[in-house]
Structure 1
Amino acid sequence: MAISSSISSSSADVAVPCCHCGMRSPMRTAWRCDYPGRRFYGCAAYGGPNCCTFFEWFDPEPPKRFADVIRNLLEANESLSIDNHNMMKTNFELTAALRETTKKAEELAADVDSMVASNVVLGEDLTTCVVSRRWLRSALVAVLSALIACVWLRVVNN
């Protein structure tokens, strides 16, 4: 595993060694190596172009069991971080899908409202047609009745 570190301060009154560059070496903690959680001193210019090769462990070598437990915890943490990232991505995708579905539902609701309004107008037109048809039917029946009466009177009078 590669070495990754973080700078931390120590309240212990321990002499801080200087690196080959002549600068005081900060204490760091190794997380991704055979000794996860073990503190060490390294070059103050670590990661920069003028970094020297100074390295000195601060903590004594821990029992193998400790390193295994810490490594397992780090792996479990990494797995949980990946799961969390994937769930956040899924949540984002579901939220976007929900927004799109809501937008489509609103558009459909507007279409339904428009259709209902059109249906109301058509219903009113149909009612008007039915009333007009009934009136025309009544008028036609009256005219036909009068015509039949006239024809009947002519036939009877002749």
Structure 2
Amino acid sequence: MANLCGCGEIAKCRTSWTQFNPGRRFLGCPSFMDPTRNCNYFRWVDAPLPNRWYQGTMYQLHINLVNAQDEVVQANNQNSQTTFYNRVLIVLIVGMFLVRFI
């Protein structure tokens, strides 16, 4: 059976990545980003994490993952720029040779 929030809509299942509840799933109002429609419905799906060490480890793993994903995006952007500049350089070199031999 679907969980309905106070708005009468089906509550959305999300994952918390706060420092004290990393990886915990919860149900919440689907309109939580809209303060005029948010009914503040909230209910944990998972049990609390066992201890502070576990919380800290889960949170740190999440932070490491986010940082690694950011580094991959930056590397891909840098690679795209390098590829573009390499192509421009090749076109210029080929153009120089064509001008010289024509």
Name the TM tier (shorter chain).
0.7 to 0.9
In structure 2, do the counterparts of structure 1 residues 24 and 104 end up closer, same or farther at CA, with 3 Å as the change threshold? Answer: closer
1:56 equivalenced with 2:29 (yes/no) = no
Question: Which entry has the higher C-alpha Rg, 1 or 2?
Answer: 1
Match for residue 70 of structure 2? 82
The structure with the largest helix share of the pair is 1
For residues 43 and 89 of structure 1, what CA distance do their matches in structure 2 show? 36
Greater RCO structure (CA 8 Å; 6+ sep): 2
Runs of 5+ unmatched residues, structure 1: 1-14, 115-158
State the shift of 1:91 in Å: 0.9
Q: Provide TM-score, normalisation by structure 2.
A: 0.77
Root-mean-square deviation (CA, aligned residues, Å) is 2.2
Please tell me whether the aligned partners of residues 27 and 42 of structure 1 are also in contact (alpha carbons under 8 angstroms). yes
Aligned residues: 100
State the shift of 1:37 in Å: 1.0
Residues 114-145 of structure 1, C-alpha deviations (whole Å, 9 max, x = no match): 3xxxxxxxxxxxxxxxxxxxxxxxxxxxxxxx
Identity of aligned residues (%): 22
For residues 105 and 23 of structure 1, what CA distance do their matches in structure 2 show? 62
For residues 80 and 7 of structure 2, what CA distance do their matches in structure 1 show? 49
For residues 24 and 97 of structure 1, what CA distance do their matches in structure 2 show? 50
Q: Provide TM-score, normalisation by structure 1.
A: 0.54
In structure 2, do the counterparts of structure 1 residues 24 and 105 end up closer, same or farther at CA, with 3 Å as the change threshold? Answer: closer
